[in-house]
Each structure stands twice: as C-alpha cells, then as structure tokens.
Structure 1
Amino acid sequence: MKKQRLISSYDEINDTFVGKIDGGNGYCADYGISDGIFLSIDKNNIPTSVLVDGASEVFNISKQLLQNSNVRIGIDCDSICLYFTMFIENLKICSIRCKNDYGIPNINLEIDSNY
C-alpha cells in the first residue's frame, strides 16, 4: 500500500469538501465516481484529489464533523473496479465501489492527513 499525505479542507458555506495529495501537481481530468463525488487524476491516470459537492448531504453527516482535520481516504483500483473509502476520526463516512472506466492503473493508495 502506498501512503501519502492528505491536505483537506471543508467550506461550510458552499458545503464543499476537498482533499488533495500533498505535492500532487495539477490534474488532467475529473470523473464523477458517485453522486457529488469527483476524483481528479493526473496525466498518468493517478488520483490527485477528491472534491465532494454538497458534502454534508452526500455523506449524510453534520457540517461540524466535516470540519475535522483527521481524514483518511483509501483508493484501490484494479482493471475492473475502483474502491473509494473515506474516514473522519476513524469513522467510516463513505464506501463506494464503481466500475473503473477511468483508466486508473492497479493501485492501492492511502491518503492520510496524519501521515
């Protein structure tokens, strides 16, 4: 498993969560992997950031919890499926499995704000 540092922020007014890999440079494309959840990838098809529009509704949690800085995101991919999980304070907030139509290579990535 490859581990990287996560830089996350939450905009309460716009109810938008953004998580970016520290040191990630730019993006090539954004993909909607679920309602309101967007994954950005770089030119090598490696995930660089996550944006969640309407985060409190998408995750069905309070805006107060989304302001917590203890966030961990897991992204696992194979040639068939993409698995996305998100934890705040070790509480599983989201777990998604979708078809890997995005060209993301086989990866097992953990992005952690406490790395």
Structure 2
Amino acid sequence: MKTERLISSYDEINDTFVGKIDGKNGYSANYGISEGIFLNIDKNNLPASVMINNASEVFNVSKKCLESANIKIGIDCNESCLYFMMFVENSEICSLRCKNDFGIPDLECIMDCNI
C-alpha cells in the first residue's frame, strides 16, 4: 500500500473540500466518481487530487467536521472497480464503489494529512 501526504482545505462558504497529494501539481483528467465527488488523475493515471462540491451535504456531516486537520482518503482500485473511502478524525464519513472506467491501474493508496 502506498501512503502519500495529503494537503486538504475546506471552504465553508462554498462548502467545497479539496485534497491533493503533496508535490503533485495539476492533473490530466477529472472524473466524477459519485454525485459531487471528483477524482483528478495525473498523466500516469494515478490519483493527484480530490474535489467535493457541497461536501457537507454529500457526506451528511457538519461543516465544522470538514474543517478537521485529521483527514485520510483511501483509494483502492482494480481493473473493474474503484473504492473511495474518507475518514475524519478516524471516523469513516464516506465509503463508495464505482466502476473503474478511468484507466486507473491496480493500486492501494492512502492519502493522509498526518504523515
């Protein structure tokens, strides 16, 4: 499993959460993996960042919750499915599975604000 440092920010006014892997700049493709959740991948088809519009509604949590500095995002992928998980203060606030139509290779990745 690959672990990456996550840099996260939450805009309470626009209710938008953004998390990006430290050291990655830009992306080459953007995919909607669920209602309001967008995964940005780099030129190697690896995750670069995540953007969630209307985040408090998408996750059914308070805006205060999303301001936490203790965020982890897990992405597990195989040729057919992509699994996305998000944790705040070690509590799971999202777990979803979608079809991997994005060309993302087999991978297990944890993006963590605390490394």
TM-score (norm 2): 0.99
Paired with 1:25 and 1:14, the residues of 2 have a C-alpha distance of: 23
Please give the root-mean-square deviation of Cα atoms over the aligned residues, in Å. 0.5
Where in structure 1 are there 5+ consecutive unaligned residues? none
Q: Indicate the residue corresponding to 1:37 in structure 2.
A: 37
Matched AA of 2:9: S
SS at the partner of 2:17? strand
Paired with 2:88 and 2:47, the residues of 1 have a C-alpha distance of: 20
Matched AA of 2:33: I
Paired with 1:52 and 1:36, the residues of 2 have a C-alpha distance of: 5
After TM superposition, give the deviation of residue 26 of structure 1 in Å.
1.4
State the aligned residue count.
Answer: 115
**Is 1:3 the equivalent of 2:3?**
yes
% of aligned pairs identical?
67
Deviation readout 1:73-99 (Å, 9 max, x if unpaired): 000000000000000000101001000
Q: Indicate the residue corresponding to 2:113 in structure 1.
A: 113
Which 4+ residue blocks in structure 1 deviate beyond 4 angstroms?
A: none
TM-score (norm 1): 0.99
SS at the partner of 2:57? helix
Q: Indicate the residue corresponding to 1:88 in structure 2.
A: 88
Matched AA of 2:48: T
**Is 1:79 the equivalent of 2:79?**
yes
After TM superposition, give the deviation of residue 41 of structure 1 in Å.
0.3
Matched AA of 2:3: K
Paired with 2:62 and 2:87, the residues of 1 have a C-alpha distance of: 14
